[in-house]
Structure 1
């Protein structure tokens, strides 16, 4: 059973991802999703096994996307950032995009 994060962790990570990393969300959706030409994506949840996004489609529809964490299961909030950064890097590699430096 996947680890469940508390509401504070969920709210903080989702707010940050959807306010500050909208382009990263879309990049992850383009790299790991199965729908052609997504136009936007927002992170809607995560647990110890992976992250969840809703992908916006050009026709106005939406599709769910579940992506497992690259490093495997996690149990601590500080690990969430590491795994999202790893997803971003993997998405860049998959799409041939130069990743920005991480601070």
Structure 2
């Protein structure tokens, strides 16, 4: 993973938020972009190019980097790109997205 433009403090805050408040979204994103049979997904990192998730499926666990739609350089960009991934995952899986 390339160097992050964000401090460790920002990355840790995003990971706490995603894993604490949006675990269902993590799983939806993992099922759409990593493995349709994913059982769990935990966001483990991010950088300007994408987010990294630890995805567990019946075949085992592996880390996967899912690219953003555009490079992120500001903290607000992270939220925008996670929403883009969430919306794309909903579309790919035929799930009605919740309002943002």
Q: Same fold per TM (> 0.5)?
A: yes
Note the residue ranges of structure 1 that are not aligned, 5 or more in a row.
Answer: none
Answer whether contact 2:50 2:67 (CA < 8 A) is retained: yes
Moved over 3 A (4+): none
- Please provide the CA RMSD for this pair: 1.4
Residues 48-72 of structure 1: CA distance to partner in whole angstroms, max 9, x if unpaired? 000000001225x2011111102x1
Note the residue ranges of structure 2 that are not aligned, 5 or more in a row.
Answer: none
Residue aligning to 2:5: 4
Give the secondary-structure state (helix, strand or coil) at the position aligned to 1:38: coil
Instruction: Give runs of aligned pairs for residues 17-32 of structure 1, distance below 5 A.
Output: 17-32=18-33
Q: Output the TM-score relative to the length of structure 1.
A: 0.90
CA distance in 1, matches of 2:36, 2:28: 13
Give the secondary-structure state (helix, strand or coil) at the position aligned to 1:85: helix
CA drift at 1:73: 0.7
One of 64, 85, 92 as aligned partner of 1:94 = 92
CA distance in 1, matches of 2:82, 2:37: 22
CA distance in 1, matches of 2:41, 2:53: 6
Residue aligning to 1:77: 75
Query: How many residues of Structure 1 are paired with residues of Structure 2 in the alignment?
Result: 99
